[in-house]
């Protein structure tokens, strides 16, 4: 079980991990050992996440979200399989925590009349300065 906060935890059946060979430097070790991890979290079917959280998670996940409603995280940073697994689980937890935060509602503001007047006056002043630069014919 992966604990997100005091109320939400992700069950083991919701997460599947597949170990694959990592690319990049590492010599013979890369060709022999499947150290990279592909973590798949079935977010759409998860009973522990409320609807709005799932929607925010989907937006945050971007390309990592599949058509089936799963979140796929791939990690191949370390040479150790256990460490890559740990990093993947930490990233999943961080992403879900971020999705739990409700975004603040934007309060629309208006530009004051005084500010509008100042802007127009500044434009006029600048225009006069540029107009005075021309030489007479």
- Answer whether residue 1 shows pLDDT above 80: no
Between 10 and 70, the higher pLDDT residue: 70
Q: According to the model, what pLDDT value does residue 26 have?
A: 66
Lowest mean pLDDT among 6-15, 20-29, 107-116, 119-128: 20-29
Residue 68 Cα distances to 42, 60, 64, 78, angstroms: 8, 16, 11, 29
Return the closest-CA partner of residue 92 out of 73, 111, 76: 73
Q: What is the pTM of this model?
A: 0.69
As a whole number of angstroms, the distance between CA 34 and CA 79 comes to 9
Return the closest-CA partner of residue 22 out of 88, 69, 67, 70: 88
Q: Domain ranges in the chain? A: 2-100
For 77-136, what is each residue's pLDDT tens digit?
888 888 998 999 899 989 988 988 888 899 999 999 999 999 999 999 999 999 888 776
- Answer whether residue 45 shows pLDDT above 80: yes
Which two structure tokens, joined as six digits, stand for 112?
Answer: 């004051």
As beta bridge partners, residue 37 has 19, 75
Give the domain 2-100 fold. Double Stranded RNA Binding Domain (3.30.160)
* DSSP sequence for 54-99: HHHHHHHHGGGB-TTS-EEEEE--SS-HHHHHHHHHHHHHHHHHHH
pLDDT (mean) for 70-76 = 89
CB under 8 Å to 61, separation ≥6 — which residues?
Answer: 43, 71, 95
For the chain, what percent of residues have pLDDT higher than 90? 23
Q: According to the model, what pLDDT value does residue 7 have?
A: 77
CB-facing half-sphere around the CA of 17: CA atoms within 13 A: 16
Q: According to the model, what pLDDT value does residue 49 have?
A: 84
């Amino acid at each position: 079980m992966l604990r997100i906060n005091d109320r939400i935890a992700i069950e083991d059946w919701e997460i599947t991990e597949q170990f694959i060979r990592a690319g990049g430097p590492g010599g013979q070790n890369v060709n022999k050992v499947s150290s990279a991890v592909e973590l798949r979290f079935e977010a759409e079917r998860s009973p522990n996440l409320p609807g709005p959280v799932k929607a925010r998670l989907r937006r945050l996940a971007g390309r990592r979200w599949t058509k089936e409603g799963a979140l796929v995280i791939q990690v191949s940073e370390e040479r150790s399989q256990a460490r890559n697994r740990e990093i993947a689980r930490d990233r999943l937890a961080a992403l879900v925590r971020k999705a739990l935060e409700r975004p603040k509602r934007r309060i629309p503001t208006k530009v004051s009349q005084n500010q509008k007047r100042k802007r127009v006056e500044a434009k006029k002043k600048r225009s006069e300065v540029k107009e005075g630069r021309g030489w007479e014919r």
